[in-house]
Amino acid sequence: MVQLGHLVTTTFGSMSTIVVEGGRSLSGTVGILGAKNAVLKEMVSALLAPGRHRLANVPSIVDVELMCQVLEHTGCKVDQGEGELWVVVPEELRPEAPIDLVRQMRASIVVLGPLLARCGVARVALPGGDDLGSRPIEWHMSGLDQMGVSFELVHGELVGSIDGKLKGTEIELPFPSVGATENLLFAGVLAEGETVIVNAAREPEIEDLIRQLTEMGADISGGGTSLVTIRGVEALHPVEHEVIPDRLEAGTFAVAAAITNGDVTITGCYPDHLRMELRKLEDSGCDVERGDGWLRVKGPDRPTPVDFSTLPFPGFHTDMHPQMVALLSLASGTSVVTENLYDARFRYVGEMARMGADISIEAQHAIVRGVDRLSGCPVLSPDIRAGAALVLAALRADGVTEVGGADHIDRGYQDFAGRLAALGASVERS
């Protein structure tokens, strides 16, 4: 049993749960931590250079813990302190990532590039992580194949090997895949000759990774554009690097302010990394102020309906889609949301409907008909961002909502419940 104010609610058996009593406007200031989608790849980049690496602004989230285990399996020694992490990389690596770790976190697939570059071979279990539908790794494999890698599938493991060194070449991606761009960056920095990635991902996390690799001695140009050129070098060296702020965490707290008719200042963030998302919040009736390293969001009494489509950066981020739908479920009209990236992104809609949201799905479109109120009830988080969205909806719902599967949220947010409580929410973790 969980005591929340004067209300007593039950939990989903032994499942980790966030319990929210809705109806409070959020106010105050929240600081943003390091980006999940940057730190995981910057931990992996350490594999490219023997020695002691340090990362600063590291969030304490489950996915960081999982990646620590992946690195330790390769032979690294990893130590984590308050907001920082050290990785000591040996001269000889164990070139594998086992299934029990990889199946929990899709980001593990990016160890392919560094292990191939350092060891000439890599054994990586096929990835898992959030079930958001088809996210093929064929683009990773095709690009690496063009650099001289041969692949075979052996007992559920993807085994890649090269004869000699990786060879630089021009690789055109059919889609600006973040993961494929990262793996090709890792492979190219120690390859012979020049590697050109055409239609590369442009995300801020990619730019930050390129900054880190450049600090390590890599020769890369074109970061932040769709044409990235990598000139291979003989060796890299360890560095200290500070991880960029998490734009998705900043965006989530921005929507929390919006949905509660609140007034929240978000510090330690880059508003330019949320250009489209903040524009859509303004279109929904929010007052958004931006400054150097901060933004302030004042929510409307009731949102105005807004249409949006998810696209690669600088478009609207798919990982902000569920949070925005939570807001629009209370709008004064109908919104249309188009999901262009992940075909199973809408798995949270049934849980939102349990709270009274009126959402229907037609192919890759969600038609969100705003309702006057949501009602608290038990719901279950299917993935990181959907879980966060359900908590945001609960902040505005009548009564008490239990969001089960809070361990999903822990993969991407440090102390999400505690930080919302610090802004005035009635929320507890059980």
In the sheet with 84-89, reading across from the earlier edge strand, the strands are 77-81, 84-89, 51-56, 240-242
pLDDT in tens, 61-75: 999 999 999 999 999
pLDDT band at 407 (very low <50, low <70, confident <90, very high): very high
CATH entry, 36-242, from 3.30.420.40, 3.40.50.150, 3.30.930.10, 3.65.10.10: 3.65.10.10
pLDDT band at 10 (very low <50, low <70, confident <90, very high): very low
| % of the chain at pLDDT higher than 70 | 94
pLDDT at residue 83 greater than cutoff 90:
yes
Report the alpha-carbon distance of residue 267 to residue 282 in Å, rounded. 19
pLDDT band at 156 (very low <50, low <70, confident <90, very high): confident
Helices 247-259 and 384-396, packing angle to 10 deg = 20
pLDDT at residue 6 greater than cutoff 70:
no
Q: Do the domains at 2-33+245-429 and 36-242 have one common CATH topology?
A: yes
Q: What per-residue confidence (pLDDT) applies to 127?
A: 63
- For the question of residue 79 being annotated catalytic, the response is no
pLDDT at residue 185 greater than cutoff 90:
yes
| Whether the Cβ atoms of residue 20 and residue 421 lie closer than 8 Å to each other | no
pLDDT at residue 56 greater than cutoff 70:
yes
Fold of the 2-33+245-429 domain? UDP-n-acetylglucosamine1-carboxyvinyl-transferase; Chain (3.65.10)
Per domain, the residue ranges of the chain are 2-33+245-429, 36-242
Which of 336, 90, 331, 426 minimizes the C-alpha distance to 417? 426
pLDDT in tens, 97-147: 877 777 777 778 899 999 999 999 999 887 644 443 444 688 999 999 999
Q: Catalytic: which of 130, 208, 246, 410?
A: 130
Burial of 202: CB neighbours in 10 Å, binned 0-12, 13-18, 19+: buried
344-352 average pLDDT score:
91
Q: What per-residue confidence (pLDDT) applies to 305?
A: 98
Question: Which has more pLDDT, 295 or 156?
Answer: 295
pLDDT at residue 269 greater than cutoff 70:
yes
Report the alpha-carbon distance of residue 199 to residue 177 in Å, rounded. 9
| Whether the Cβ atoms of residue 38 and residue 244 lie closer than 8 Å to each other | yes
Q: What per-residue confidence (pLDDT) applies to 216?
A: 98
Q: What per-residue confidence (pLDDT) applies to 103?
A: 74
pLDDT at residue 13 greater than cutoff 70:
no
Q: What per-residue confidence (pLDDT) applies to 3?
A: 33
Average pLDDT across the chain, whole number: 93
